[in-house]
Amino acid sequence: MGASNPKNFNHKVHVGFDPITRSLTGLPEEWRILLSPPVTPKSPSLPTYESRDAKVTAQESNHEKRNANIVDHSGASTNLMQGGMYPIEADTTMVPTQHNTPSDKITSFMNIQEIASCLGAHRCGNLTSKLDRASLGTYPIANGGFGDIYKAKLVDGTDVAIKTMRLLVSHNKDNKHLKHTAQELYTWSRCRHPNVQQLLGLVEFRDQIGMVSTWEPNGSLAGYIRQYPDVDRCKLSAQIANGLAYLHDLDIIHGDLKASNVLISKHGAALLADFGNASLREYTLQFTSTTTKTSISVRWAAPEILDGQETRSLSADVYALGMTILETITGNAPWSGKTEQAVMVSVLIKKTHPARPEVFIPRNSNQGDILWATLKQCWLFIPTTRYSARKVTDNIQNISPKGLIAQDLHVMMANDGFL
């Protein structure tokens, strides 16, 4: 090839490449000096690093040696993961390696078996061998925002629900959907409470990881209220608040609380479900960062969520709790009759909350003012001024349907001793 001489741009120098020595030939001496890298003495105290190319080559040629040791960029000895995969994230950054075993971190490069093994080491049991596959239908019986629900049985006859993440075209590029499922499973597996749907474990299911939970025949809260309009909605509201308070005690943010994400048990109790947007403040099992966007339910979302200041928080959960209680009491979604664009204008620009539904929370009732004042505290514009989920629970646990019955003026005056 030709290259210009820096001292004489009219003169051409013919440079070649020697594949044996892997060096350039035909360079003038001044070029050779100019291009030669400075020689730096190697410090005996520094670790010896292998090049990434050399390690990849060694990995490929020794794929069957799954337990062979490699040296990562920190100089620490690390075992190859099951399947011959080594931790790409740690390999691309010049930072000290965390003292985690392979089962302490889940990445989007891991396969189903590796992720299931990691979760199994952190209290999330694998029920694949206990699943009665003959009980599975071809198609899901219900669909959520990003997931599909299948009904199945375990070999002992127990009815269960299996939730899988709905695969999109972009998911074909890697296993990010598996990591997202694993994070939801891990967070959900921390929970044991009468007002939180019980996770039973996981199954390796149709090239995915399925989340196995108790089957709740009464379905979601929204449908249950429509089917049984005379149900005690005050009790259900208190149970929802109690379930959220429990999550917050564990430093778990639900992230998408609304009536469609609350199930009703066979005994009629409210159960918080769908942990797809949930997050835990401290993880003993680590997850690599992801670019997956959090979904937003506009009618239940706090102002700081709508304007992008936050993606999720405890106080935003409380805002959504207030909206969910309103939804439970009225049987209608918050801001009923408004478009989502109009809702955003009301929340972000006008800084208002839904109007008091006088039919369901009348002013001339014994406990209506207590309930409405509590809901307004949930919807305060400044997050730090809102009630906690525990405070909401304490405020509404004694409210009853009878306390929300409107009284005529004569009865009210008699009760107050004026007649």
User: Cβ–Cβ contacts within 10 Å for residue 51, how many?
Assistant: 8
Mean pLDDT of the chain: 77
pLDDT of res. 77: 33
Mean pLDDT of 217-224: 95
Mean pLDDT of 32-61: 43
Q: Are residues 61 and 129 in the same domain?
A: no
Per the structure, the count of domains in the chain is 4
Q: Is 15 helix (H, G, I), strand (E, B) or coil?
A: coil
pTM of the entire predicted model: 0.70
Q: Are residues 60 and 193 in the same domain?
A: no
User: Strands 286-287, 105-106: parallel, antiparallel or unpaired by DSSP?
Assistant: parallel
The percent of residues above 70 in pLDDT, for the chain, comes to 65
Q: Are residues 338 and 379 in the same domain?
A: yes
CA end-to-end span of the chain, whole Å? 109
Range of the domain at 182: 100-215
pLDDT at 8 over 50: no
pLDDT of res. 276: 86
pLDDT at 113 over 60: yes
Q: How far apart are CA 44 and CA 303, in angstroms?
A: 57
pLDDT of res. 31: 54
Q: Are residues 292 and 404 in the same domain?
A: yes
* Burial group, residue 124, by CB count within 10 angstroms (0-12, 13-18, 19+): buried
pLDDT at 406 over 50: yes
Query: For the segment 156-187, what is each residue's pLDDT rounded down to a tens digit?
Result: 999 999 998 876 544 445 566 777 788 888 88
Q: Is 164 helix (H, G, I), strand (E, B) or coil?
A: strand
Mean pLDDT of 102-125: 72
Query: For the segment 310-367, what is each residue's pLDDT rounded down to a tens digit?
Result: 888 999 999 999 999 999 999 999 999 999 999 999 999 999 999 999 999 999 999 9
Q: Is 292 helix (H, G, I), strand (E, B) or coil?
A: coil
Mean pLDDT of 65-91: 32
Q: Are residues 385 and 287 in the same domain?
A: yes
Least confident of 86-90, 133-137, 158-162, 244-248: 86-90
pLDDT of res. 233: 98
Enumerate helices (H) and strands (E) in the chain, giving the number of each.
13, 18
The residue ranking higher by pLDDT, 289 or 236, is 236
Q: Are residues 202 and 318 in the same domain?
A: no
CATH number at residue 205: 3.30.200.20
The residue ranking higher by pLDDT, 358 or 141, is 358
Element (H, E) at 38: none
Query: For the segment 226-279, what is each residue's pLDDT rounded down to a tens digit?
Result: 999 999 999 999 999 999 999 999 999 999 999 999 999 999 999 999 998 888
Q: Are residues 76 and 105 in the same domain?
A: no
Given 171, 190, 215, the domain boundary residue is 215
pLDDT of res. 371: 98
Q: Are residues 270 and 367 in the same domain?
A: yes
pLDDT at 75 over 60: no
Q: Are residues 119 and 65 in the same domain?
A: no
CATH number at residue 334: 1.10.510.10
Given 215, 245, 266, the domain boundary residue is 215
pLDDT of res. 366: 94
With CA atoms as reference, report the closest residue to 392 among 289, 226, 281, 257.
257
pLDDT of res. 60: 35
pLDDT at 38 over 60: no
pLDDT of res. 214: 94
Q: How far apart are CA 328 and CA 333, in angstroms?
A: 9
Q: Are residues 62 and 208 in the same domain?
A: no
pLDDT of res. 110: 78
Element (H, E) at 316: helix 314-330
With CA atoms as reference, report the closest residue to 237 among 317, 329, 315, 300.
329
Q: Max CA-CA distance within the chain?
A: 115
Mean pLDDT of 362-381: 97
Mean pLDDT of 188-199: 94
pLDDT of res. 335: 98
Q: Are residues 52 and 130 in the same domain?
A: no
How much is the CA Rg of the chain, to the nearest whole Å? Answer: 30
pLDDT of res. 288: 45
With CA atoms as reference, report the closest residue to 85 among 59, 113, 51.
59
pLDDT of res. 347: 97
- 228 near 222, Cβ under 8 Å? no
pLDDT of res. 95: 31
pLDDT of res. 84: 29
Q: How would residue 146 be classed by pLDDT, with cut points 50, 70 and 90?
A: low
Element (H, E) at 147: strand 147-154
Q: Are residues 265 and 390 in the same domain?
A: yes
Given 159, 181, 215, the domain boundary residue is 215
